Chain A
Amino acid sequence: MEEFLQQLTNGLAVGGIYALIALGYTMVYGVLKLINFAHGDLFTYGAYLGLTLLTSLALTDRVGFALGVLVLVLMVMGLVAILGAILERAAYRPLRESPRLSAVVSALGASIFLQNTLMLIYGARFQVYPDDILPAATLDIFGLYVPLMRVLIVLASVAMMIALYLFIQKTRIGTAIRAAAIDQGAARLMGIDVNRVILLVFLLGPALGGAAGLMVGLYYGQVNFTMGWVYGMKAFTAAILGGIGNIPGAMVGGLLLGVIEALGAAYVSIAWKDAIAFCVLILILIVRPTGLLGERVADKI
């Protein structure tokens, strides 16, 4: 039971990270009907930028752990959001009217480009987060000792998800995003600047992805320039699992996938851990391509 609960909390933490990345995929897919293959790499940028800022600014030494990490998260989110906007301008906007294959290939190209830029800057080896930044405390929750970082990740990711959900559902701008996702042409006729909505989506998604990258760096302590595509694929699986284009779906899918993967690794086989997500992906696309919370879409997938 003890081990099961440990795996469950671990799965929730990893799942929260997947969910944050999945939100970026699902929002872009909702508005542009495009799989943003470079999204996973923006996540990696979050992890690397976090590392660089952490070591060069020494924020946590100056203002203490809690405030330092908070400032760090905001800085990383802002920087990665800017990167996301640049990506949209450079790789996707010129192809807005092109066939789907062109945009997909451009997205893949962008992914390869971003990943290798990172490799040329930082080198191909694993980069290690300093381990004295964070208090290695554990929290006692009804007799279950859970690392503090794990709890923080779950709380932070859930908080961000709720904030995003409220933003999308309750504000005027959020309504514009939803309108553009349903019908771009009609949204334009209603006076919504679709280009700005798309830009906004490419700011929000990467910001969340960048925060997820920083969380992975803090949680596992090491980052690699290729990790973006594994996390990206899993987050995409999470988005499909919940129903792509559906924001609560991405959250549910992410948490579910994290738990499935953690339990699968613990009780089935650790060596096949990475294959579990892909099996889930294939199964869900065969059995229920609209995902768990996806509504029936008219066009066939």
Chain B
Amino acid sequence: MNRFKPFVVALLAGLLPFAPLFLNTYQVDVLNSIGLYALLALSLNLILGEAGLFNMGHAAFYAMGAYTAAILNTRYQIPILWTLPLSGLAAGLFALAVARPVVHLRGDYLLIVTIGVGEIVRIALVNDVFGITGGANGIFGISRPRLFGWVIRRPEEFFYLIWGFVALTIFLFLRLKQSRFGRALNYLREDEVAAEGSGINTAYYKLAAFGLGAAWAGMAGTLFAAKMTIISPESFSFWESVVLFMIVILGGAGSIPGVLLAAFLVVGLPELFREFAGARMLVFGLVMMVMMVIRPQGLLPTRGRRFSLAARVKETGR
């Protein structure tokens, strides 16, 4: 099984760019939403999966990015893709400001606080805070993204934009996972006290995970705003946060392939079984309960990094 894994991954990755050639517009659109959810789940994975911080207000950061992009675009006519770094920055800074006083809270308390933050943000958007969010109707008339003079309009075109960004994200996050930073986050997740004892500045790394994850969600928000051209508070409800949380837990916290697989299952499967659409959340709830009993580590859990002693001996000569 494990011998074939690289081939399976390579095959899937190789086939995906050709998907729009074989699928109809609706199916491509479903793939686009899967891509957006995959992006968001990957960004949440950094906070929840890698660092083990229970964040159930991820939709707030997503909303922050989407609204920053939409406001900059509709009010100041900044091209939507140019707002990408700005909305990432806005969401990241917001996350830092929010997380700073609460990040020391233990597991489920942090969960509750992040739910609260998510709700406060949503209520603020509905109430047209500062008079710039358009209230319950949201913001419309966001311009189409333009890349090297090419206006991205059709779902097939968005497919390459979104999945290109997903590919970039996977590459960067895999690198991050291997880095000193990624290892520090994992140590934090496994044993906070031991991590602190080993000289890891836990508060710093927790905040960094929050900031980075939120910034990435903010950029996903920009892509969402560009795709929809209209955004409203209801797209950023508590249930979005729950679905993202579920994708990460279902896939296996900290596992990038797992999160991708879970994004396909959670977003894609309900589209296949449209006649049972009403029972979608019911099934999700049941799956969450059953999974925790039979497979709490998720569908594709990460295996710990392995360091071969032989290789080490060869390297250092000792």
Judge whether B242 is part of the interface by a CB distance below 8 angstroms: yes
In-complex Cβ contact of B108 among A90, A94, A100, A286 (8 A): A100
Given contacts A119-B278, A301-B105, contact A109 B54 (CB under 8 A): no
Q: Are B123 and A274 in contact (CB under 8 A)?
A: yes
Interface residues of B in 283-317 (CB under 8 A from A): 284-289, 291-293, 296
Say whether B289 contacts A116, CB under 8 Å. Answer: no
- A102 at the binding interface (Cβ < 8 Å): yes
Interface contact A112-B285, CB-CB below 8 Å? yes
Shortest CB distance B101–A (Å)? 5
Secondary structure of the A contact surface, majority rule? helix
Residues of A within 8 A of B195 (CB): none
CB-based contact A106/B106 at 8 Å: no
Contact B113 A106 (CB under 8 A): no
Q: Contacts A301-B105, A301-B106 hold; do A104 and B288 have CB atoms under 8 A apart? A: no
A141 within 8 A of B: no
A210, B237: Cα distance in complex, Å: 26
Distance, CA A48 to CA B279, complexed state (A): 19
**Contact A112–B292 (Cβ < 8 Å):** no
In angstroms, how far is the closest chain A Cβ from the Cβ of B133?
Answer: 13
For residue A105, CB closer than 8 A to chain B, the reply is: yes
- Report the stretch among B20-28, B114-122, B176-184 that lies at the interface: B114-122
Using Cβ atoms and an 8 Å threshold, which residues of chain B touch A119?
278
Report B72-108 CB contacts with A as 1/0, cut-off 8 Å: 0000000000000000000000000000011011111
Q: Does A139 contact B (CB under 8 A)?
A: no
Residues of A76-115 at the interface with B, using a CB-CB cut-off of 8 Å, are 90-91, 94-95, 98-106, 108-115
Q: Mark B112-140, 1 if CB is under 8 A from A, else 0.
A: 11011101100110110000000000000
Instruction: Say yes or no: is A282 at the interface (Cβ < 8 Å to chain B).
Output: yes
Range of interface residues on A (Cβ < 8 Å): 35 or more
* Chain A residues whose CB sits within 8 angstroms of the CB of B249 once the complex forms: 101, 105
Given contacts A106-B292, A110-B285, contact A272 B123 (CB under 8 A): yes
A277 to chain B, nearest CB (A): 8
Query: Which chain B residue lies CB-closest to A109?
Result: B288
Contact A301 to B54, CB < 8 A, known contacts A109-B288, A112-B285, A286-B102? no
A residues lining the B interface (CB < 8 Å): 34-35, 90-91, 94-95, 98-106, 108-117, 119-120, 229, 233, 236, 240, 269, 271-272, 274-275, 278-279, 281-282, 285-286, 289, 299-301
B residues near A (Cβ < 8 Å) are: 52, 54, 101-102, 104-109, 111-113, 115-117, 119-120, 123-124, 126-127, 238, 242, 245, 249, 278-279, 281-282, 284-289, 291-293, 296
30 pairs, A vs B, C-beta closer than 8 Å: A34-B108, A94-B293, A95-B293, A101-B54, A101-B107, A101-B249, A104-B107, A109-B285, A109-B288, A110-B289, A112-B242, A112-B282, A112-B284, A112-B285, A113-B285, A113-B289, A115-B285, A119-B278, A120-B278, A229-B238, A269-B127, A274-B119, A274-B123, A279-B116, A281-B112, A281-B116, A282-B102, A282-B113, A282-B117, A300-B106
